[in-house]
Chain A
Amino acid sequence: MTGKLNFSLVAPEREIFAGQVDQVDAPGVEGDFGVLPGHAPFMTTLREGVITIYEGNARRRFDVKGGFADVNGEGLTILAEEASEIVA
């Protein structure tokens, strides 16, 4: 595994997260999926659930309500209908 994954989480009102991460887990409509750097192009709608971002040993979790994920050569973009960080 080389490099990092470009990830941005965008809600209609604002960009919630943008940066380089190691891995992102997200709830797809047809099952949860994880995205690592270099993932093949992939597009899916999301159901309500939790997005987990892995950065080294740190983790951040976000609540999302529906949305849409797009993985392409440049990275992963999640357009969430509503999203907020879960403060542990």
Chain B
Amino acid sequence: MASLKEMRNRIGSVKSTQKITKALNMVAAAKLKRSQEQAENARPYAQRMASVIANLAAGVQGADAPRLLAGTGEDQRHLIVVATADKGLAGGFSSNVIKAARERINSLIAQGKDVKIIAVGRKSRDQLQRLYGEKLVRTFELSEHKTVGLHSAQPIAELIAEMFENGEADVVQLFYSQFKSVIQQVPTGAQLVPAEVQTASADNSTALYEYEPSEEEILETLLPRNLTTQILAALLENQAGFFGSQMAAMDNATRNAGDLINALTLQYNRKRQAQITTELIEIIAGAEAI
């Protein structure tokens, strides 16, 4: 049985842990608000971009379509981009994304495809490195920059475009966590290349469009940019999801610590009282003996 002093120490250490989780919970809540705003602010751009590309793609089809849009016509080399967080203490946030990606990767390997992996975020690097070793071709860390922005998405997009141009990849997929709500994040796989185009919008005004320069040239410059936009959107969703998940995890931890403190305090008090009772009995017994 632990002594009273040991128990006091134990309660003290749980209390300070609770303080930390509580603080982290509040920090995550504050950051969540900001990153949620950021993710929402970035949405109009991504939406417009998608609709413009849908418009353009309807006009350019067949052999002369850019390869980022149409693909290489092959399905052998797959590039999987797995985006998670850099830090932990957020429940199963990163593991959930990695789990979804792993299912996909394993099924591709089972089909005999060549798989290459790019890890974004320290958590995905650590896990994927261990699981797939040399299939992991590059890793990116988000904490190089203070905030997630275009500067975080650009290098990733450039690498993807480069690998695609060099014929190292036919299909590119991105795994990230979609931010549904503070308590719900859904691991999602999105196809980046060949670009998934929304089914042509209802208006058929495309024929009347005037292009400057040509449709093909516009698409040529637009598609790499679209890649960046999609990655940025995913990173921002990831960030919001991360803080949401961290908030929930820390809230849980704080509550658990509270429960533990209550249980320990109860135990401590019982023991203390038992000791006092014993001491009293000893004194009384001693007095009677005299």
Contacts and interface: CB of A to CB of B under 8 A. Distances in A.
B228 to A, nearest CB: 8
Contacts of B42: 12-14
Contacts of A77: 48, 52
A30 B217 CA distance: 13
Contact of B45 (A28, A29, A43, A79): A79
Interface residue SS majority, chain B: helix
A72 B38 CA distance: 28
B248 to A, nearest CB: 27
Interface in B12-62: 38, 41-42, 44-45, 48-49, 52, 55-56
B231 to A, nearest CB: 11
B41 A42 contact: no
B210 interface: yes
B163 interface: no
Contacts, number: 79
B203 interface: yes
B238 interface: no
Interface in B60-107: none
Nearest to B232: A12
A68 B218 contact: yes
Closest 6 CB pairs of A and B: A14-B41, A44-B212, A41-B209, A42-B210, A10-B45, A15-B44
18 contacts: A10-B44, A10-B48, A12-B232, A13-B38, A13-B150, A14-B44, A15-B44, A40-B210, A41-B209, A43-B209, A43-B210, A43-B212, A43-B218, A44-B212, A68-B221, A68-B225, A73-B203, A82-B150
Interface of B: 38, 41-42, 44-45, 48-49, 52, 55-56, 149-150, 203, 205, 208-213, 217-218, 221-222, 225, 228-229, 232
